[in-house]
Structure 1
Amino acid sequence: MLTQLFQSDSELVNVHDLAHLIVSQELPGTTVKTDGIDGDPYAFLTVVNLNACWDHPAISALSNYLLAKCEDDTTLLQILRPSRDPSSTSHIGLILSERLINMPIQVVPPLYRMLRDEMKTAIREDKPCLFSYYAMVSRTYHMPHEDGHVDSGAESGPPAKRPRATSNKHNPRFHSYHHEDDVWEELGQGSHHFRYTHHNPQEVDSFGAEVGGKLTLLSAEHFSTLVDVIQQRYSST
């Protein structure tokens, strides 16, 4: 599922070693499976302490990748750079999350609620889960025919049935793949859209979508609010 998240740049961020790190670490996280422990995952949500794992090959590659993608965003760079310093008092928790496209949004609130509870327990047990910021990488898509309409005005259709559109001065219009990604952007310190290094641009008249990435930073003090908002909006109860 990490390959689904990082798409054509999966080799650049060393997703194989990253997956092994996630499985082996003792930090909080949940995977949704239906065929037992050896079955394929349908969704997952976990956190990785970038400072504590700064010298791990996968985290080193991923940190370099994200810093390069955000090199023109001084605000995000200022927050991200200390993640490469294990002695820094400002630790960053990298939230990694993905789910299959046919998995309903209702699976997400319990994942976030469990993650919040598990991190509280981990902090009491002196595990490295006390963060100043959280960073999340998510997928976006861009329809080539929308290049001429980069305003952020409302679209037709009910809000719950259409993707939220965002834009910035460097990029055309983007849409989030998952609804919960929009909550991150609403509450976050800032977001940066980027194209994958090995992206394949679509023709203007193509029916296909160009997939991109987004990095969003969230102050740790707002994480509990984020979980509550996701619960209120998307819970099945």
Structure 2
Amino acid sequence: MGKKRTRNPDDDDIMAEDVPVQGKKNDGDSSDSDEDMDIVNVDFELFNYDSTIDFHGVKTLLRQLLDADASLFDLSQLSDLIVEQNTIGSTCKVDDKANDAYAFLTVLNVQEHSKDAKKPVVKQLVEYLAERARKSQDENLAKVVPELLLGEGKQQVGLVLAERLLNMPAEVIPPMWSCMIDEIEAAVEDKEPYEFTHYLVLSRTYLEVESSLDQTERKNKRSKATGELQYFHPEDEEMRKFATAAGSFEYTREGEAAVADSKRAFQEMGIKPVGFMMLIEAANFQKAVQAIGEYVATGGISMETS
């Protein structure tokens, strides 16, 4: 697979690959046989951010990433910051650059952007994550993350924001991360502020919850979360192995309505979305990205649509 990036933000260099996505064959046959399967080849392409095109697509994905707490932040301001960093990170699209992104990935310098009084959204997000980390059951996360985010030391933290639409093929994941590694290295060589000591990866996870069809009971009783933490993004479980600290956190604006809607995803069990963050030292970040690539290549992640 060729590289997407040049350091010239005006270049339209892209990277594309046929990604096989399995779907049931629609031939008018009512049979549900798994033998009636076709392979649909789709060209997913990675692009530099374009401020004239990508604002709304990135904002939509940010709303999905931040889930119930999205309304706490100025997502328009955050989207502007992301698309203005057009040599760091990627959007993933189908067919044409002018389309909305199906996925995005970027990294923001916490210390650099938190100083910008005209665009306070990063500072607000940093304070929010520090507070969520303090309440984590992971003692390491509760202690280290607030100190790194809010401290006055020489540590430089890169806040990694990534999200994609559901049922995106796993094969698009490793190229996006690998490209960003290359872009960060090139930016450091150009004396840009991307020489991080740590990366804080923000993501989403969920817990299964007991489902109830009784509307009256649902209003008067909170759903009970059960079972182990589950991952919306399976590669997070692999990346977590390289984290200094990692843990989930509840959203501050989690409401009964949000949980009730999520129950529709399962017939017997519903889901309770929760935030998730991983702190990875810079020395281990590239190893984590390589592990994702190996995980996908060996079939650790699969996707099937119907």
Q: Common fold, TM-score beyond 0.5?
A: yes
Query: Equivalent residue of 1:106, what SS?
Result: helix
Structure 2 partner of 1:231: 293
Query: Equivalent residue of 2:270, what SS?
Result: coil
Query: Equivalent residue of 2:68, what SS?
Result: helix
Structure 1 partner of 2:228: 173
Structure 2 partner of 1:94: 159
How far apart are the structure 2 equivalents of 1:81 and 1:53? 17
- 1:57 has 2:120 as partner: yes
Residue by residue over 1:31-67, the C-alpha shift from the partner in whole angstroms, topping out at 9 and shown as x without a partner, is: 0122533321101111111011113311011011111
How far apart are the structure 2 equivalents of 1:26 and 1:127? 13
Instruction: Say whether the 8 Å CA contact 1:144–1:206 is kept in structure 2.
Output: no
Shift in Å, 1:177: 0.5
5+ residue gaps, structure 2, are 1-60, 212-225, 300-306
How far apart are the structure 2 equivalents of 1:25 and 1:50? 14
Structure 2 partner of 1:132: 197
Instruction: Say whether the 8 Å CA contact 2:248–2:275 is kept in structure 1.
Output: yes
The aligned runs of 1:89-168 (5 Å cut-off) are 89-145=154-210
Shift in Å, 1:108: 0.3
Structure 1 partner of 2:147: 81
Query: Equivalent residue of 2:184, what SS?
Result: helix
Residue by residue over 1:102-130, the C-alpha shift from the partner in whole angstroms, topping out at 9 and shown as x without a partner, is: 10111000001101111111110011111
Instruction: Say whether the 8 Å CA contact 2:208–2:227 is kept in structure 1.
Output: no
Residue by residue over 1:191-233, the C-alpha shift from the partner in whole angstroms, topping out at 9 and shown as x without a partner, is: 1211111113447996321111111100110011111111111
How far apart are the structure 2 equivalents of 1:188 and 1:133? 10
Structure 2 partner of 1:198: 253
Residue by residue over 1:66-103, the C-alpha shift from the partner in whole angstroms, topping out at 9 and shown as x without a partner, is: 11111235533434434346x63200001111111110
TM-score (norm 1): 0.81
Q: Percent identity?
A: 29
Structure 2 partner of 1:25: 85
RMSD: 2.5
- 1:13 has 2:76 as partner: no
- 1:68 has 2:68 as partner: no
Worse-superposed segment, 214-223 or 15-24: 15-24
* Paired AA for residue 232 in structure 1: E
Structure 1 partner of 2:30: none
* Paired AA for residue 59 in structure 1: V
Structure 2 partner of 1:161: none
Instruction: Say whether the 8 Å CA contact 1:94–1:135 is kept in structure 2.
Output: yes
Comparing both chains, which one has the higher relative contact order based on Cα–Cα distances under 8 Å and sequence gaps of 6 or more? 1
Report the CA distance shift for 1:19/1:126 in structure 2 as closer, same or farther (over 3 A).
same
How far apart are the structure 2 equivalents of 1:206 and 1:60? 41
* Paired AA for residue 209 in structure 1: I
How far apart are the structure 2 equivalents of 1:3 and 1:72? 23
How far apart are the structure 1 equivalents of 2:103 and 2:165? 6
Query: Equivalent residue of 1:142, what SS?
Result: strand
Worse-superposed segment, 203-212 or 112-121: 203-212
Instruction: Say whether the 8 Å CA contact 2:134–2:146 is kept in structure 1.
Output: no
Worse-superposed segment, 92-101 or 12-21: 12-21
